[in-house]
Chain A
Amino acid sequence: MELTIALSIGVLFGSGIWLILRPRSFQVITGLLLLSYAVNLFIFITGRLSVNKPPLIVQGEAVDPSLYADPLPQALVLTAIVIGFATTALYLVVLLGSRGLTGTDHVDGKERDSAE
């Protein structure tokens, strides 16, 4: 399972980085989305990989922490998803505004010179 998770994070990061270096703003936003997926997965696994363990404990019971999943990364990842979602949506609005004002979806707001 470690290998699968590590590989999927790696692939997501790789494709994300490649995409944000592209000149079209749509590619950039797709890249940002992939990167944020990769980061969210990454945060999630910092609580160690485990299957079928509850994150919540019953109050007042003495518990063995190794039987439980770490709840904190799960809480962090929820917050990170919400914030990432909101900021990406905001970028989408700017992207559309730029497309409308400049007439191109190039990140510089203008096409390269046609001589190239």
Chain B
Amino acid sequence: MMYLNPHLIMLPILLPLIAGALMVLINERHHRLKFLINLFSTAVMLLTAIQLLMQAESGLWLADMAVYLAANWSAPFGIVLVADRLAAIMLLLTAALGTATLVFSYSRWSKTGVHFHTLFQLLLMGINGAILTADLFNLFVFFEVMLAASYGLLLHGYNISRIRAGMQYIVVNLVASLFFLIGIALVYAATGTLNFADLALKIATLDNTDRFILQTGAAILAVAFLTKSAMWPLGFWLPVTYSAACAPVAAMLVLLTKIGVYVILRLWWLLFSQHAGASAGFGGSVLLCGGLLTMAFGAIGLLASQEPRRIASFSAVISSGTLLALIGYGDAALLSSALFYLISSTLAVAAFIMLTELTDRIYTPAASVLALSMEAFAVEEDTQESAGVVIPAAMAFLGLAFAACALIMAGLPPLSGFVAKFSILHGLLGSSSAHAPLWVRWIILTLLLVAGLSAIIALMRFGVRTFWTLYNSAPLRLHPTEALPILAILLLGVSMVFTAGPLFNLLSRASTDLQQTPAYIERVLQHPVVTTQEGL
């Protein structure tokens, strides 16, 4: 299993493409077969991601990076895929969340419309491709694949609110894609290349005119990415979209905003590092200010939220804002904490969205009847009448799961949200920034705490109203395929606390990789093409 196969890196892109295409041919009546194909493909993706991460860790890769030259053209000319630790971690997060949401969708959502499974696989393909690609135009293509699939998934289960949200979401993203293209054109006009490594190499040597064009292009590109990652004021589409989409889709959309953040993280640290000459640190203050404003906006929005989906939306906005502010702050030491926060908050918000789908049934028992017949958690009604309220096992599960989600989202001990936030705060206190005055860290710190406080208030209000009010509904019914994914994600959140030490070591190695710009350039551009004697 060692340096298993150089083509392994293609698997996260090819497999969902093939699986997705295959499922178009299968009639919608064979729902279970489609689900199994989908699950198989996602599970293989999960294993591939683990394998890639292990290979990145094993030190067998040159400079801990795997470079794959598609069509065997050497680097600046052909299409290049690059996997390093960060990419492997993101692939793992995608596959893990994908598996969980897929299992969640089994009992209800994947049956309510056509081509759910195909679109789901294509969405995963787009995400995986965007993570692995090392070429700007390829990134655009994978973004479009990801977005086109997300348009279809957002409209899944077709009703008026989804159509309305879809109209806005699609227009916003189409315009953002046009920005993306303009940015690509300007970058190409300035440098004559679209390969990440080649760009990073050429940026340092640009003359003034070309540097101006390149920076304009980069700024326009950033508008496209920041729209995806919902920076204020570009993120106005997010609450509407998240509220309208069905639960498994909304959970995947949470990941999509983090892909925007990931792309910014990767490109910004690669292209505008201290090796970039006169362009070093370009736009860092915009990311920082934008991130801070986004955090403030999210905190205020969270206080005003009553609907659970809006709480989830604004939590996602806050976590995007925090990440952008930390990236823009420009202290490399904070990156591993930021990555830990990214993983923890993505999982928690996704779990919370799936959970709200279930808590909605408390009010509308009709929905639970519609959903299924199998009873897993509500069979035995052993009532513990301590406070005079009947608490069946399903309710107890929901309550506990909600409490865990809330603890992670608000960053309270003892779960992973606290570890993430604590390490960010700890890192900030001892940090130094290349281009921001020192008092900025106090603003980040304050906003982080305020955002946590407003998360507590919003979540407590929701929790009290949902779980502590008297209601007369039929016993709540949960399908095991709905409870298990939430449980699995939350257990992941718990295990992140116990493995925080090794995980932080891994993440700090990943963030060190990000700063090795010269090594990255050399590794990608020097990668030899395969000669026919060796065989393909």
Closest B residue by C-beta to A38: B178
Is B181 a contact partner of A97 (Cβ separation < 8 A)?
A: no
Least CB distance, B492 to chain A, in whole angstroms: 34
**A69 beta carbon closer than 8 Å to chain B:** no
Report which residue of A90, A98, A102 has the largest number of chain B beta carbons within 10 angstroms of its beta carbon: A90
Specify the main secondary structure of chain A where it touches its partner.
Answer: helix
Is B170 a contact partner of A94 (Cβ separation < 8 A)?
A: yes
Is B166 a contact partner of A94 (Cβ separation < 8 A)?
A: yes
Size band of the interface chain B makes with A: 20 to 34
Query: Which residues of A from 8 to 35 have beta carbons under 8 Å from B?
Result: 20, 25, 28, 32, 35
Query: Which residues of B from 366 to 407 have beta carbons under 8 Å from A?
Result: none
Given contacts A43-B185, A91-B170, is CB(A109)–CB(B144) below 8 Å? no
- B146-187 Cβ-contact flags toward A at 8 Å (1 or 0): 011001100100111001101110110011011001101110
Closest B residue by C-beta to A100: B163
Least CB distance, B341 to chain A, in whole angstroms: 33
| Total contacts A-B at CB 8 Å | 84
Point out the residues of chain B lying under 8 angstroms from A35, CB to CB: 175, 178
**A50 beta carbon closer than 8 Å to chain B:** no
**A7 beta carbon closer than 8 Å to chain B:** no
Least CB distance, A68 to chain B, in whole angstroms: 14
Cα distance A67–B104 when bound, in Å?
Answer: 59
- B173-212 Cβ-contact flags toward A at 8 Å (1 or 0): 0110110011011101100001000000000000000000
- B271-287 Cβ-contact flags toward A at 8 Å (1 or 0): 00000000000000000
Point out the residues of chain B lying under 8 angstroms from A39, CB to CB: 178, 181-182, 185
**A101 beta carbon closer than 8 Å to chain B:** yes
**A72 beta carbon closer than 8 Å to chain B:** yes
The one of B141, B144, B160, B177 in contact with A101, judged by C-beta atoms closer than 8 angstroms, is B160
Binding site for B on A (CB under 8 A): 20, 25, 28, 32, 35-36, 39, 42-43, 46, 72-73, 76, 79-80, 83-84, 86-88, 90-91, 94-95, 97-98, 101-102, 107-109
Q: Name 30 A/B residue pairs within 8 A (Cβ), A-sorted.
A: A20-B175, A32-B174, A35-B175, A39-B182, A46-B188, A46-B189, A72-B188, A72-B194, A73-B188, A79-B137, A80-B181, A83-B140, A87-B147, A87-B148, A87-B151, A87-B177, A88-B174, A90-B148, A90-B151, A90-B170, A94-B155, A94-B166, A94-B170, A98-B164, A101-B159, A101-B160, A102-B163, A102-B164, A109-B160, A109-B167
Binding site for A on B (CB under 8 A): 137, 140-141, 144, 147-148, 151-152, 155, 158-160, 163-164, 166-168, 170-171, 174-175, 177-178, 181-182, 184-186, 188-189, 194
Knowing that A76-B184, A97-B155, A109-B160 touch, tell me 16 more A-B residue pairs with CB under 8 angstroms: A20-B171, A25-B167, A39-B178, A42-B182, A76-B188, A79-B141, A80-B181, A87-B144, A87-B148, A91-B170, A94-B170, A101-B159, A101-B160, A101-B163, A102-B160, A109-B163
